[in-house]
Each structure stands twice: as structure tokens, then as C-alpha cells.
Amino acid sequence: MNRGGQQIQMSVPPFTFAVKWIIISSVSIWFLFQVLLENVIKIPFTQFFNLVPSQVLFEFKIWQPYTYMFLHSTREISHILFNLLMLWFLGAELEQKWGSRSFFLFYIMNGAGAALIYVFSIALYSAIFGSQVALIIPVVGASGALFAIMVAYAWHFGDRMMYFFMLFPIKAKYFVMILGFIQVASMLTSGISGGEVAYLAHLGGIISGLLAVWGKDRWERYNLTRKNKKKGRNLRLVVDNEKKESKDPRYWN
């Protein structure tokens, strides 16, 4: 790509192991179970695995905070397309840094974390204002987990340049801050249930991701400090007095 006589190289992120299998699983579930089984054969599927706050709270469908992130809208193909593209663009580099197992656990746990923040926030709102509508609105999609990944990306690669609206270059840390502000503003203007978009679940992903990446960083620092202290305790002084030519004590580890 050439702009103003200056060559700009655009790199494509690697297709890492965990990212690849999350994408394959999500696309397979979307096409086989939601598009074919549900829309064509008319066998209900989504209603058992989407996220419905009242069903989690009162019917104890505790699998829903984990399964909803693998479901997507069948009316808007852009829903699954943009979610999985974002997972690829941002998640692959995090997976390379953390390893596949840690990345997958981060994705799953923060998808569930976003769901639980959403469910209990909706329950609190309903208890305070007496509105039960949001309790029965189903939620699907990986956006909660993806907002957590955005936070983690900004945490580790905050000065990396991203393109806001695909046009304006901006550092990753400011990009995530702007997205967070947009979610708050959108939720305030559209209501707590968010209309077609569950902005509260997005905010749940941001909060969950921030707590998770902060905790992960603190835990790694703690382990590193403990390892260094243990290594320091294993240092010992050895004085070689047998050889007269050795005038100075020697330190060995």
C-alpha cells in the first residue's frame, strides 16, 4: 500500500491455535444449529443456550453464561463476521504472548464474567425500578468476551496504533477508552436493555477484562518476586582457602 509516496506495510495477524478453534466452533454452531436446525428445520436451539437473566436467576440455567458467547444473530451476518474478525485481529497476538491455554481460559471466563455482570445488573435495575422487561430479553454473541480482549490488548500493547472507524490512527489504550465511553453513552440513550444491542454486556466485558488482566499481571509479578527471592536465598558464599593463588573469595550460584 502506497500513500503520498511512502510505502506502508500492512501485516496480517497469525491464525493461532485457540483463535482458530474458537472461530471454527462459533461458525459451526451458528450455521449447523442456528441457521439449519433452527431456521430451516424449525427445531428450537437458541432458546436453550442464549442468555436470559430471569432463567439464570430463577431457573438456574447456569450453563447460559458460557454458551451464549458461541451464538450469534441469524438475521445480521455482520454480527458474527465482525465479532470473529475482531477476535482474530486482537486475540492472535495475545495468544502468542500468553499461550493458547491461558488465552482460551481468558476468553471463556471473561465471556462468562461479562454475562454475570449483565445478569446481576439487570436484576438490580429491575428490583429498584420495578421493570421486568430486561429480565426476559435474550442475549447472544461474543462481544462481552471481545471487549475483555480489547482491554487486555490495550493493557499489553497500549501504544500500538489502531484505526478508529478504519480511518483515524489512534493508540490502542485511547481506542478502548473511547469505545468504553461510547458503550456508556449508548446505554444511557437506549435504556438499560439496550434495544438491539446489549451495551451493558459490553461494559460487563470491559469491567471483567480489566479485573482479569490486572489480577493476572499482579499474580505474575508476585510469582516473579517469589522466584527471585527463592533464587536469592539459594546464593551461597564459597571461600576457597585451599589454593594460595586465590587471594579473593569467590561467589558461586
Q: What is the DSSP string of 153-207?
A: HHHHSTTSEEEETTTEEEEHHHHHHHHHHHHHHHHHHH-TT-TTS-HHHHHHHHH
Kindly give the confidence (pLDDT) of every residue in the chain, 253 residues in length, as a single tens digit, with 9 standing for 90 and above: 444 444 444 467 889 999 999 999 999 999 999 999 999 999 999 999 999 999 999 999 999 999 999 999 998 899 999 999 999 999 999 999 999 999 999 999 999 999 999 999 999 999 998 888 889 999 999 999 999 999 999 999 999 887 766 677 889 889 888 888 988 888 888 777 656 788 899 999 999 999 999 999 999 899 888 888 777 666 555 555 555 544 444 433 3
Q: Is residue 250 part of a domain?
A: no
pLDDT of residue 193: 63
Looking at residue 133, the DSSP 8-state letter turns out to be G
How many separate domains does the chain show? 1
Distance CA(15)–CA(173), nearest Å, equals: 24
Phi-psi bin for 50: left (phi > 0), alpha (psi -120 to 50), beta?
beta
Evaluate whether residue 252 is within a structural domain: no
Flag whether 19 is in a domain: no
* pLDDT of amino acid 69: 97
- 3 inside domain: no
Q: Any idea what the CATH number is for the domain that residue 148 is in?
A: 1.20.1540.10
Q: Which residues have C-beta within 8 Å of that of residue 72, sequence separation ≥ 6?
A: 26, 30, 34, 79, 80, 83, 140, 141, 142
Structural domain of 172: 25-231
Angle between helices 172-190 and 143-156 (to 10 degrees): 150
Q: Per-residue b/e over 145-165, b at no fewer than 16 CB within 10 Å? A: bbbbbbbbbbbebeeeebeee
Tell me the C-alpha distance between 171 and 158, whole Å. 6
Asked if residue 5 is part of any domain, the answer here is: no
Residue 11 lies in a domain: no
Answer whether residue 223 is part of any domain: yes
Residue 10 within any structural domain of the chain = no
pLDDT for the residue 238: 54
